[in-house]
Amino acid sequence: MVLVNGVTENRINIADRGLQYGDGLFETIAYRNGVAEFLDAHLTRLLKGCKRLAIPFQDIEILGAELNSVCHQLSDDAVIKIIITRGSGGRGYFAESNIEPSRIISSHPCQTYPESYPRSGIRVRLCKQTLSENSSLAGIKHLNRLEQVLARNEWDDVDIAEGLMFDQDNNVIEGTMSNVFIVKENQLLTPKVDKAGVAGIIRAHICKWAQQNGLVVEEKNLSRDELFTADEIFVCNSVIGIWPVSNIDNRAYAVGPVTKNLQQALAESEK
């Protein structure tokens, strides 16, 4: 099902700035057991992104009603995507102040992944495509995803589930579709996303849970050497949850106790 500005439709105006310039934001939400998971956190990040990009979107109640309408049509677990664009305007980068933002909500079948991924871990590669530094865009889920597209298309080996991306200083930032954590000497470390990358919903949830349960967690620049010498590594996002990393470019890693504990804590929070 697709709603465009509240109307059942699968087309947008050719002049929409989301299409013309990537001028907008999106959220990808897991819908499981009749619940849109972490919905408040997703909507909060969406509004934060709109404020950062100066998109005058205020219709959160209308968006919520439309989201409920989409959810009521679902009989199975699904993935829901919300897109907010600046709206349709004339040609050129300048945006007129009277443009109405566009709302797009779509539902999609859940992608099926091997059952071994959360249990035994995944194979990961290191991407050649780097992430550009831009503090104005860092953290939010804006529509400009060409770097991730280029990185993901570096491989077609079905045995490799994810690729890790680095900044121009060779610090690991995130996966093509996920955030990354490492465990070192029982400390939980995750890359900063103040210059590049996405501040993921599950990433924030993991950091909060770790702090509340006495596990040291730190956001920092993570070098390749720190990645290679980690005791445990895992990736996460709102759809996949937490996947342990068992192999990076033929380097083996254990699926350790910290990762397993976090998986259990995440599963319990989703109930």
Q: Are residues 95 and 229 both part of a single domain?
A: no
Q: Give the residue numbers marked as catalytic.
A: 28, 141, 174
- Euclidean distance between CA atoms 57 and 254, whole angstroms: 45
Q: Are residues 102 and 138 both part of a single domain?
A: no
> pTM of the entire structure?
0.94
DSSP string, 69-133: HHHHT--S-EEEEEEEE--B--SSS---TTPPPEEEEEEEEPPP--THHHHH-EEEEEEEEEPPP
Mean pLDDT per 10-residue section of the chain, whose length is 271 residues: 94 94 97 96 97 94 96 96 94 89 97 95 98 96 97 97 97 98 96 97 96 94 96 98 96 96 90 52
CA 222: distance to chain centroid? 19
Structural domain range at position 69:
2-109
Q: Are residues 125 and 233 both part of a single domain?
A: yes
CATH of residue 188: 3.20.10.10
Answer yes or no: are the C-beta atoms of 70 and 104 closer than 8 Å: no
Q: Are residues 21 and 133 both part of a single domain?
A: no
Q: What is the pLDDT of residues 14-50, one digit of tens each?
A: 999 999 999 999 999 999 999 999 999 999 999 999 9
How many structural domains are present in the chain? 2
Q: Are residues 17 and 131 both part of a single domain?
A: no
Q: Which of 60, 84, 109 is the last residue of a domain?
A: 109
- Euclidean distance between CA atoms 163 and 100, whole angstroms: 37
